[in-house]
Structure 1
Amino acid sequence: MHGEYKVPGGKLVVVDLEVRGGVIANARLSGDFFLEPDDALDAIDAAVSGMPVTADVATIADAVRAALPAHAQLLGFSPEAVGTAVRRALVTAPDWRDFSWQIVHEKAVSPHLNLALDEVLTTRVGGGVREPTLRIWEWDTSAVVIGSFQSYRNEVDPDGATRHGFDVVRRISGGGAMLMAADAIITYSLYVPASLVAGMSFADSYAFLDDWVLQALRSLGIEAVYQPLNDIASPHGKIGGAAQKRLANGGVLHHATLAYDMDGQVMTEVLRIGREKLSDKGTASAAKRVDPLRSQTGLPREQIIARFIETFTALHGGTPGNITTEEYSEAERLVQSKFATDAWLHRVP
């Protein structure tokens, strides 16, 4: 069995192994990482060999850590990365390039329709009737998008939203509220089968699915890093955040919003951002938390989007795709039955 795991911001970790009688045998670690001393590689192989196939990432990582020689140095990977590669080998997880990707960047639609499309396309990928897809959003109205489990009353100032022309909508994924001013952010969604992130913890899958974005941002001169659980940041501040929803049919929605030209004052007037939320971010001002892409690159929004698509295609492949008439129709019905209803918007008052 063969498993691979590309450490976000790090190196490729590869594990080849056999399974005999319910235990791992002949585990062999390889990759483009750095490891000192040399005999640490044999120690890692020995630690993994003999473990039960039911061992999780944490258990494997603990065994690897305990077996490492004193003062061993692992550069570009970690014991947890070894554990993830082992789990992916045991479940025969595919790689990005094992799929044919569609890349969709279409007309601007309403915030409600964008959210409904997320549910429709994730369901279709999970059901095997659509290829895995990267979709770049365009929207025709500014909106506050609150997380599935957030309280409308606690997160949004309705008067501020009305005054600044923001609709308020609720998405199917968890996480925090996002201020999505038209043409002032970049939002993308990945619709993937659960097999792509098999063997990973929920937290690890966030960084894994956004690593291509970090590479795109770095190619534009931004020192982008991932801050667990779901923030994309630079030395100048937070750039954006990601969220996920996993459907019962095996479809995974992973989407992220990055600020291009954020008005921090408007954000504080539309969102009820309290001191408690900011206290663990090391800042006293919500306006200082978000550092737009425009100020760091000096590039038009369209040029940054083009680099995103170029980077994704270079790393993972992909061809231009589209949303079908049937998919748009299904999403429009879902807007009427769910996303545009007060029952959904106020499901958490």
Structure 2
Amino acid sequence: MRYIYNPSTDPAFNLAAEELLLTQSADEIFMLWRNRPAVIVGRNQNTLAEIDETFTRERGIPVVRRLSGGGAVFHDLGNINFTFINNGNPTEGLDFERFTVPIQKALAAMGVACEFSGRNDLLIEGKKFSGNAQHFHGGRILHHGTLLFSSDMADLSGALRVDPEKYRDKAVKSVRSRVTNISSHLPAPMEVTEFIKALMDFVSGGASPDDMALTDAESKTVESMAEKRYRTWDWNFGSSPAYNFSKRTRTEGGLLDVNLYVKKGRILTARLFGDYFGVRDVDALEERLTGCRHERGEIESRLADVNLDDYLHGVTLPVLLDCLF
């Protein structure tokens, strides 16, 4: 078993590191790592349907898609991620619990009783602190999970808050649970870095920290993979399943009812209904939106030279952008 502590807090780099170790290594792996504030969405999810787009945009919180399925999660520096990579075959089926046993034993050794529950969660006193997911590739299995240690619960709930009525799709939906931080249940206070060390010591049996880093060559390859996949709009948003978006907003110009059909992240059809006034036919505005990414910056650029008041009297571009998300 190779034990890795990855000190990077860049979510794109860290997810690329998992992919490298899964696809380009024969080693069995245990890795601990953290992300600065980010939303990580499951492989089969509609990204925009899982996040509060305004909350994440205004706070500069990146949104990154991972390889594994399951629901969207919020990461910050108070959350520790653990990764196991072993040889395994999809025909053996999903088995989340066996990879969480070392975590349960480590927490028990620190004085925290927890239990595996449902399909893929760990609970303390009935509240979730760990969600787990898996991905198979070429006879290898990637299992990773979150460990809420001292996460900001306000950011966690804010980043993942979205109106479920706006999106109609067949994507995998996240299931929200009551959550708790491990730090609230420890018999004595502990810093997150102390917890990481204690967890690694327990699982590794005291392996030397000097042997736990990615090599320079691995880091260089990981950075390239992050650029090509995990920092791209096409992967993080464009890979979402097709969906219908609808939102009704009361504006100063009247009621505006937006309906979009989006596939591979691009608007294929746009319809704008309502009791607003305009001197030009709104069809031309709908055509402007067709083919555009369902992404605020690109839509803003596409409509920058349009006199919106001709089509939607009293509706400014910032207001229209808010209506489209």
**Superposition TM-score, scaled by structure 2 size:** 0.64
Structure-1 residue corresponding to 2:31: 135
Q: Secondary structure at the match of 1:289?
A: coil
The residue correspondences of 1:303-342 to structure 2 (distance < 5 A) are: 303-314=194-205, 320-342=211-233
Q: 1:295 to 1:163 in 2, by over 3 A?
A: farther
Kept in 1: contact 2:79–2:151 (CA 8 A): yes
CA drift at 1:273:
5.8
State yes or no: 1:178 paired with 2:73: yes
Structure-2 residue corresponding to 1:242: 132
State yes or no: 1:190 paired with 2:79: no
Structure-1 residue corresponding to 2:22: 122
State yes or no: 1:262 paired with 2:151: yes
- CA deviations on 1:134-173 (whole Å, 9 max, x unpaired) are 111134x311111111111110112111333421111111
Structure-1 residue corresponding to 2:300: none
Q: 1:199 to 1:154 in 2, by over 3 A?
A: closer
Match of 2:52 among 157, 160, 163: 157
* CA distance in structure 2 between the partners assigned to 1:332 and 1:153 by the alignment: 26
Q: Secondary structure at the match of 1:145?
A: strand
- CA deviations on 1:264-309 (whole Å, 9 max, x unpaired) are 3222221136799xxxxxxxx96x7110011111321122212211
CA drift at 1:263:
2.6
Higher percent of residues as helix: 1
* CA distance in structure 2 between the partners assigned to 1:275 and 1:224 by the alignment: 31
Gaps of 5+ in 2: 166-174, 241-264, 266-325
Q: Secondary structure at the match of 2:24?
A: helix
CA drift at 1:327:
1.4
Match of 1:166 among 61, 66, 86: 61
* CA distance in structure 2 between the partners assigned to 1:212 and 1:199 by the alignment: 24
State the number of aligned residues.
227
* CA distance in structure 1 between the partners assigned to 2:164 and 2:129 by the alignment: 20
CA drift at 1:226:
0.6
Which runs of structure 1 show a deviation greater than 6 angstroms over 4 or more consecutive aligned residues?
none
Kept in 2: contact 1:262–1:290 (CA 8 A): no
* CA distance in structure 1 between the partners assigned to 2:120 and 2:14 by the alignment: 21
Over the residues paired in the alignment, what is the CA RMSD in angstroms? 2.4
* CA distance in structure 1 between the partners assigned to 2:157 and 2:85 by the alignment: 32
Kept in 2: contact 1:143–1:169 (CA 8 A): yes
